[in-house]
Homo-oligomer: A and B are copies of this chain.
Amino acid sequence: MQAGKPILYSYFRSSCSWRVRIALALKGIAYETVPVNLIKDGGQQFSKDFQALNPMKQVPTLKIDGITIHQSLAIIEYLEETRPTPRLLPQDPKKRASVRMISDLITSGIQPLQNLSILKKVREETQLTWAQNAITSGFNALEQILQSTAGKYCVGDEVTMADLCLVPQVANAERFKVDFTPYPTISCINKRLLALEAFQVSHPCRQPDTPTELRA
């Protein structure tokens, strides 16, 4: 069906795209990036070509092994099943449950409520408060849950899928000027993760489509 490198449709600032970029980096999978600018031209995700590829009009989308996968966690689980090393889910089913619980808390309990397409639907002067409320409400719960699951990282001492969700969500929180005082555990884990190479090369400030003024 398909030869050559996997293709990731990505936007440098999309937190959902970043999750997948970290997974690809950790697993050492070479890939090509096709940038989809969510703002330019009224949003390139709304183009006919992109809609034909992903009817949800969202990034990330990954073409790999002759198939096209949407939704960041579905992509990461597929990579985990087909390229198991290094693993992003622990072996113990109970720990796997913790990883998926934290991942889902972020990907369905926080991110969808503060993403661009939702913020565009609320009055401009309330957008910042709306996003902050969505994030702090989720982070209040997450901080408490991490007390019982975390070691060096979100679940124990190995990097897992939960960490791939945490770091991009923290970056969103920083953009929305969330006060991190109540979240010492989240902050500490985030700092540790950002020191790892896979989180650095996948960072929004180092993507092919990162505007020059935001590069680092």
Contact = CB atoms under 8 A, between A and B. Distances in A.
Interface of A: 54-58, 65, 67, 69-75, 77-78, 81-82, 93-94, 96-97, 100-101, 103-105, 107-109, 111-113, 118, 121-122, 130, 138, 140-142, 144-145
A100 B73 contact: yes
A96 B76 CA distance: 12
A121 B130 contact: yes
Given A56-B141, A96-B81, A141-B55, A73 B104 contact: yes
Nearest to A109: B56
B118 A113 contact: yes
Closest 10 CB pairs of A and B: A55-B141, A74-B100, A71-B104, A108-B108, A74-B101, A78-B97, A55-B144, A56-B141, A112-B112, A81-B93
Nearest to A57: B141
A77 B100 contact: yes
Q: Which of A111, A112, A118 has the most CB of B within 10 A?
A: A112
A146 B141 CA distance: 35
Nearest to A55: B141
Contacts of A71: 100-101, 104-105, 108-109
A122 B145 CA distance: 29
5 contacts: A56-B105, A74-B101, A77-B97, A81-B96, A107-B108
Given A93-B78, A93-B81, A107-B108, A55 B145 contact: yes
Contacts of A96: 77-78, 81
Contacts of A72: 104
A97 B109 contact: no
A94 B112 contact: no
Given A140-B55, A144-B55, A69 B107 contact: no
B55 A67 contact: no
Contacts of A144: 55
